[in-house]
Amino acid sequence: MPPRPAEAQPGETCQQRFWRNWGHLLDSHVRDLAWLLDSADLLDPAAPQWAGQIATIAKPLPPATLAWLAALDQAPQPLHEYLAIHPFTRLGRYAEQLMAYYLEWQDILRGHGVQVRNDAGGTIGEFDFLVRQGDELVHWEFATKLYLLEPSGDGQAADYFVGPNLADTLGAKMSKVFSRQLKLSHHPAAQRYLPQPVARAQALLKGWLFYHGQKHYAVEASGVNKAHCRGFWCEMAEIDQLDMQYAAILPRLSWLAPVRVRLDAVLDRQTLRAALVEHFAHDSMPILVALLEKNGEEAFEVRRGFIVPDDWRTRAGQRRRPQIS
C-alpha cells in the first residue's frame, strides 16, 4: 500500500508536496490523474461569494483510491485505451476524460458531456458531469485553467488573472459558470436528459495561477484558495534572471501535474533561450517552462512558469475588462 498523502507543509510548494506523495508513480497519465484528485482547488469552497457552489474532491484520498492509483500505475493500459477514445487537442478535454475515468471507477458517474438540445435541435448547453452523491444527483461543471496575474491593478479581483493567450480571465470564466452553466438543470429542455432532478449544481476548478517573478507568490485574491498551485511568469528579457539548473518546454497536454524528464531531453539555459527566441520570432503565445533539478537519471520539476513576449504585459492590461467584483 502506498503511503497516505500528507497535507501540505508550511512554505511547501505544489511540486514538493506532489513528489513527496506521488513520486512513486511512473506513468504520466496516472500522475496527471493523481494531481487532479489530490491538488488544491483553485477556488476556496468556503468563500462566501461562491455560496456553497464549489465542488471538491474529499481529502485525504481514501486507502482504496491510493491502492487503485498504484495498481493503475503498474498496469496503465486500460487508462491509455480510455483516453485514446478521442484525440485530444485541448487540455480541458484531456483533464475531463481523466476525471470521468475516476468517476466511472467510483461508480458514481451518471452522465458525462450530456448535451441539452431544444426541440429545433439547437444546443442549449452541456452537463460536464452528472454525479450520484448518496440518493442525490449533482451537476458538476469541471474546468482546468491556468491564469497569469496581470499586475496593472491591485490584483485582488478575479479579472486580473488573465489566460496566457488573453482569451479569457478568471472573472469572466466564473461569471459564465455561475450565471449560465450551473443553471442548466433549470431549463425546461434539460429535464428529459436527467435521470432525476438535480439537487445541487457546483463548479470544480483545478489549475495553476502564475505571478510575476519567482518569489512574488504572496498575493491573496478574494475567493481563491490560499493553497492553490502557484508558478511564476516573466518576460523574455528577464530569462537570464531565472534560478535554474535545467528546463523543459511543456506542451499543452503536459500542463497538469509536475513533470519528470529524462536527462537526455532537458535544456540548459542557452538552449532554452535559443528555443524561446525562435518561438517568439513568429508566435506571441506564452510558453510554459518547467525548471528542473537532477535526481538520478531524471530531472524533476521544482518550479514552473510562463515565459511571455516582452509586450505581453501591455496587451494583457488592454485585454482585461472587469466582469465580476
pLDDT digit string (tens) for 213-223? Answer: 755 555 567 78
Q: Which residues of the chain have pLDDT under 50?
A: 1, 322-325
Cα–Cα distance, 146 to 253 (Å, whole number): 12
- Cβ distance 259 to 248 under 8 Å? yes
Q: Using alpha carbons, select from 111, 138, 134 the residue that is nearest to residue 54.
A: 138
Q: Tell me the pLDDT tens digit for each residue of 239-287.
A: 999 999 999 999 999 999 999 999 999 999 999 999 999 999 999 999 9
Contact (Cβ atoms closer than 8 angstroms) between residue 164 and residue 182: no
Distance CA 280, CA 276 (A): 6
3-state secondary structure the chain: CCCCCCCCCCCCCHHHHHHHHHCCCCCHHHHHHHHHHHCCCCECCCCHHHCCCECCCCCCCCHHHHHHHHHHHHCCHHHHHHHCCCCCCCHHHHHHHHHHHHHHHHCCEEEEEEEEECCCCCEEEEEEEEEEECCEEEEEEEEEEEEEECCCCCCCCHHHEECCCCCCEHHHHHHHHHHCHHHHHHCHHHHHHCCCCEEEEEEEEEEEEEEECCCCCCCCCCCECCCCEEEEEEEHHHHHHCCCCEEEECCHHHCCCCCEEEHHHCECHHHHHHHHHHHHCCCCCCEEEEEEEEECCEEEEEEEEEEECCCHHHHHHHHCCCCCC
Q: Which residues pair with 126 in a beta bridge?
A: 115
Q: Which residues pair with 42 in a beta bridge?
A: none
Instruction: Return the bridge partners of 125, or none.
Output: 116
* Residue 187 φ then ψ, to 5°: -70, 135
Measured CA to CA, the distance from residue 209 to residue 275 in angstroms comes to 24
Residue with cell 432525476: 196
pLDDT of residue 324: 42
Q: Which pLDDT score, from 0 to 100, does residue 323 have?
A: 44
pLDDT at position 317: 80
For cell 514538493, the residue is: 16
Strands 198-212 and 246-249: unpaired
The closest alpha carbon to 70, from 146, 129, 1, belongs to 1
d(CA 292, CA 21): 18
Is the preceding omega at residue 60 within 30 degrees of 0, hence cis?
yes
pLDDT of the residue at 321: 52
Give me 303's grid cell: 518550479
Name, in order, each residue with C-beta under 8 angstroms of 117's C-beta and a sequence gap of 6 or more.
123, 124, 189
For the chain, give the mean pLDDT: 90
